[in-house]
Amino acid sequence: MAKTKIQWCDYTFNPWRGCEKVSAGCDHCYAEQQAKRNPKVFGTWGADGVRVVASDAYWKQPLKWNRDALAAGLEGDARPRVFCGSMMDVFEDRPELVSWRAHLFGLIAQTQKPQSLLLTNRSE
């Protein structure tokens, strides 16, 4: 996957897609707008919306980024930053996300070189 154009990170990673608005910070959600155009890929928003899990191949991308960073000898601030959750919220409270979230946390534990940035509107 190509690097993102987001200035403060190198990659984006969305192991599942879809979400529910929970605060004023969600009022202008670009991911929800994209999902309206392509719900099969981006899921559907709302309490009754469908969350779409990414393919096994997609889930392997952070492993590649980790290998690349190891091979390049990247340390400290030079390590790649991965924005995890631009099309979803890691901490959304839904039963189907429990196993996906556990899988994500295991993946983050395996990939020590990339800096995983988990952003949420669910501060609790």
Q: pLDDT per residue over 57-103, tens digit each?
A: 999 999 999 999 999 999 999 999 999 998 999 999 999 999 999 99
Other CB atoms closer than 10 Å to residue 93's CB: what's the count? 11
pLDDT tops 90 at residue 39: no
User: Tokens for 115?
Assistant: 């800096």
Sign (positive or negative) of CA dihedral 97, 100, 102, 104:
negative
- The H-or-E segment that residue 84 falls in is strand 81-84
- Strand duo 115-118 + 81-84: pairing: parallel
Q: Give the pLDDT band (50/70/90) at residue 2.
A: low
Q: Give the pLDDT band (50/70/90) at residue 5.
A: confident
**Are 19 and 92 contacting, i.e. CB atoms less than 8 angstroms apart?**
yes
**Are 22 and 71 contacting, i.e. CB atoms less than 8 angstroms apart?**
no
The pLDDT score that the predictor gives to residue 48 is 92
